Amino acid sequence: MIEVESMDLRLLEYFLAVCEELHFTKAAEKLGISQPTLSQQIRILESRLGATLFYRVGKKIQMTQAGEVLQYHARRIFSEVHQIHMKMDEINLMQRGKITIGCSGNHLLLPSLATFQKKYSGIELSIIDIATDEIIEKTLNHEFEVGIVLLPINESQLEHKVLFKDEFTLVVSNEHPLAENEYIHIKDLSGHSLFLLQEKYLTRQYIDGYFKSLGLQIKPAVELSDMHSLLHMTILNQGITILPKSYLNTVDTRKIRQIPIIPSIPLKEVGIVYRKQKFMSSTIKEFIEHMLQSYQSV
């Protein structure tokens, strides 16, 4: 039986060099060792295998049948070793690094951030909550690796994948006159103070478009720059707001009522966007895949 454990990679490296050159002196020069040393190492390999690997034809050498068999398997061994190194490098890279993420509402990331951070604690996540247009611009300019936005986007240089479909609902405090309603018709909102995001946000633009499609106009009493402030104002000032369910799933809802709007605001797709590119780091690939799997499981 061949003692495989004693046949180290160095001997196989020497053997493959001879196979490529079919000349001991040239192979030795390529390896940076002397020709006698190389010949000795090949004899050691032949002794361990119990087979002759080369034979001489005049001044040249040729592989024996045993040599051809060993060459085939030795190449496969070095290919596997190369794959091992690549995988180890990939794993090591996944233990460190930084991902900068643009997000049109941090709530869109919360369900999957904790599990990703637990799995890859060495990766720093920098999350910046800004408007969708700014996310698109900064992703194109390589300031963000990925963005989480409402879809669709009209940008040919970006790829996107759908994470989930979001639903919008009317929100009032428990003390509001509408709190007992099972539903509310959109036309009945005109007599109430409405709190909404500023017009630069795609969520606001989407709500505006919904009202416009019904022949209605929005005149909010208050415009704010984040959903947390909208919710807080709604509770304190007895006004009303319209918020996505994805956000409401992340907050304490004991002080508010969620009331369906008739006709309902169409569901909106939320997706992850990133630059079209030939090369993408394993860290970014893993983050995108993690996000997709997280929302699919939900």
Lowest-confidence pick of 30-44, 120-134, 192-206: 120-134
Is residue 139 included in any domain, yes or no? yes
Which of 31, 54, 87 terminates a domain? The answer is 87
- Percent of the chain having pLDDT more than 70? 92
Examine the pLDDT at 151 and tell me if it is beyond 70. yes
Distance CA 115, CA 287 (A): 11
User: The CATH number of the domain where 42 resides is what?
Assistant: 1.10.10.10
Burial call 168-192: b when 16+ CB within 10 Å, e when fewer: bbbbbbeebebeeeeebebeebeeb
- 212 and 128 assigned to the same domain: no
The overall average pLDDT reported for the chain is: 87
- 196 and 115 assigned to the same domain: no
Instruction: HSE, CB side, 13 Å, CA atoms: give it for residue 45.
Output: 25
For 10, the domain range is 4-87
Distance CA 143, CA 70 (A): 51
pTM of the model: 0.63
Counting the structural domains of the chain, the total is 3
Type and span of the H or E element at 173: strand 168-173
- 228 and 282 assigned to the same domain: no
Per-residue tokens: 212: 């416009």
How many degrees, rounded to 5, is the angle at CA 171 between CA 196 and CA 250?
Answer: 95
What's the DSSP call for residue 94? T
Is residue 74 included in any domain, yes or no? yes
- 68 and 39 assigned to the same domain: yes
Confidence band for 183, pLDDT divided at 50, 70 and 90 = very high
Neighbours of 78 (CB within 10 A): 14
Residue 289: Cβ-neighbour burial (10 angstroms; 0-12, 13-18, 19+): exposed
Examine the pLDDT at 2 and tell me if it is beyond 50. no
- 159 and 133 assigned to the same domain: yes
Is residue 130 included in any domain, yes or no? yes
- 57 and 178 assigned to the same domain: no
Examine the pLDDT at 121 and tell me if it is beyond 50. yes
Question: Per-residue pLDDT tens for 55-101?
Answer: 987 777 999 999 999 999 998 898 888 778 766 766 665 556 788 99
Residue 62: what pLDDT? 92
Is residue 110 included in any domain, yes or no? yes
Is residue 92 included in any domain, yes or no? no
Is residue 208 included in any domain, yes or no? yes
